[in-house]
A and B are shown apart, each in its own frame.
Chain A
């Protein structure tokens, strides 16, 4: 019984320490493996972020390279043609410009008025909740459905035909939820104590809104409006559905004349089987992207200025 010798004891502890050593070796291996997996996962996330950006950059780069060769003054100021080499985008460009001016004239006042009502006037009632529900739901309706609405309501029932006005009204309804949401965010960012200060000085609700709230939120509203218009510029599906022209040999003259737009011109050229017309499409895409870049850069610049001014409020 008492025969556990030092020898035994030693061999036992030695076994233990060997096991511990072995264990720690295993742990170290697991550790290394875990670190490796960890790093691989981080790398995977990095790839997932950069892959779409790199592919987009490649696609745009490829298009710009083939598009720039096509762009010259005759292309910008030319009219569509059966011959790819002599076709231009002028009616589409002017159409887009008219369309956007009209759309903004309709959508901006309506959107801002809605937002002012929802933020400054409406109590928490069923009416407000109903409007909010409709705004969120309309934001999720596919743009082509707005085209169906425009086709029936503006083109047929109101008898506007396939005109600039019908197109602008359709696009206005499409971007209305965007303008409302952006304006509400802008109005929310005005601190309440400024409103209270205005009221305490004897200002009426209207004058507080006109002289305090709107001036302070104006640049943010403008940013939202620019982004909304940038979205409308690229829209083609609703315009196709209301029957806007893809081939137009003249400049729209009044609100009821037919029109084309840049995205429609691009669509028509992409659909052609001939490679020359596809080159035209890439030229028009470069112009469209350039216009969008200007709008987005303006919005980004405004937002940057806002953030800098925020501190002084």
Chain B
């Protein structure tokens, strides 16, 4: 009887141990994925730089790997990405922060319960659908206002992307604004401050770091966004700051190459990994800054 019991104990222990190991292994997959991403990007980018010197990647001004005379100046793609991203941020930042203020300071509970999921809906629409909106509805509409606007441009996908990013900014900001300690607001009110002065002098400074983190997060998303720009921004690498002209972003270039039939190990095939590495670095930096700010927010006691 007792041996039977102890052997059952042992087999149970072994099962429990096996199970825990299996669970730990599946949790470790996230690590493998990161390692995989880094390995693929680094090894292919290494291959790329075996054939193309650093100087022509970073110092040239033209990006024409798919043409007869191949040139590899990455900056025309980077400026394309940044241009669209800036348009998106100029649209999304004020809308997102003001919407967060409205939801947490002005709207009553009922309205907030309805509006919050509706705003989240903006982030749930597939980006290919946003691309369709930008190309077939927003660009023609903008052409009435700006006649020189090209059929493909940085402005229209930027604005549409901005709308998509509103919930990214507003939901983070709203949480922070909502968490402003009541006593701080009451102190301001008791000194005779109005609602608006309280918002600008107490609430927003309290939520400042979260707002900045939200903006960085939105920035990272905007740089990595693909389908909107692949559809509506054009396929022309263009070192320009003019939002009316067609441009090409890093992501749109990767899509363009993927849609064609490029032989493996050809230099065209390797370029998408070099561009991917650049894209990964940029998004990683902005995403990390955002996460660092969010993490350090609670370690510092405000006021």
Contact = CB atoms under 8 A, between A and B. Distances in A.
B216 to A, nearest CB: 10
B98 A45 contact: yes
A145 B255 CA distance: 11
A270 B30 contact: no
Nearest to B138: A59
A177 B30 contact: yes
Given A206-B16, A267-B231, A270-B132, A48 B27 contact: no
Interface stretch (A13-21, A111-119, A189-197): A111-119
Nearest to A296: B124
B142 interface: no
20 contacts: A37-B196, A42-B102, A52-B122, A56-B163, A114-B30, A116-B23, A122-B27, A127-B24, A130-B31, A137-B34, A141-B37, A144-B251, A144-B255, A145-B279, A147-B254, A147-B258, A152-B44, A235-B126, A236-B127, A237-B255
Given A46-B102, A144-B226, A117 B272 contact: no
Contacts of A24: none
Contacts of B220: 140
Interface in A136-159: 136-138, 140-149, 151-153, 156
A49 interface: yes
B29 A110 contact: yes
A145 B102 contact: no
Contacts of B227: 236-237, 263, 267
Interface in A287-309: 288-289, 292, 296, 300
Q: Binding site of B, secondary structure by majority: helix, strand, loop or mixed? A: helix
A134 B31 contact: yes
Nearest to B95: A48
B103 interface: yes
Contact of B127 (A140, A230, A234): A234
A135 to B, nearest CB: 5
Contacts of B272: 148, 241
Contacts of B283: 140-142
B127 A240 contact: no
A187 interface: no
Please indicate which of the listed interface residues A53, A63, A153 has the most CB atoms of chain B within 10 Å of its own CB: A53
Interface string B17-45: 00110111011111101101100110010
B157 to A, nearest CB: 12
A237 B133 CA distance: 17
Interface stretch (A73-81, A252-260, A278-286): A278-286
The 3 closest A-B CB pairs, nearest first, are: A142-B224, A234-B126, A48-B98
Nearest to B170: A49
Interface stretch (B51-59, B112-120, B239-247): B112-120
B178 interface: no
A45 B279 CA distance: 34
A41 interface: yes
B102 A144 contact: no
Interface residues of B, number: 81
B163 A148 contact: no
A69 interface: no
A117 B283 CA distance: 29
A141 B282 CA distance: 10
Q: Most chain-A CB neighbours within 10 Å: which of B124, B129, B272?
A: B129
Given A117-B24, A140-B283, A267-B227, A131 B30 contact: yes
A173 interface: yes
A28 interface: no
Contact of A49 (B19, B36, B99, B291): B99
A266 interface: yes
Contact of A134 (B26, B33, B251): B33
A118 B27 contact: yes
B226 A48 contact: no
Given A122-B24, A148-B41, 13 more contacts: A34-B194, A53-B122, A117-B26, A122-B27, A140-B217, A148-B276, A206-B16, A234-B126, A234-B128, A236-B127, A241-B272, A263-B128, A292-B124
B273 A148 contact: yes
Contacts of B126: 233-236, 263, 288, 292
B184 interface: no
A55 interface: yes
Interface in B266-289: 272-273, 276, 279-280, 283-284, 287-288
Nearest to A118: B27
Contacts of B24: 117, 121-122, 127
B137 interface: yes
Nearest to B43: A152
A285 B163 contact: no
B121 A240 contact: no
A171 to B, nearest CB: 13
Interface string A71-91: 000000000000000000000
Contacts of A292: 124-126
A205 interface: yes
A43 B296 CA distance: 34
A51 interface: yes
A204 interface: yes
B280 A38 contact: no
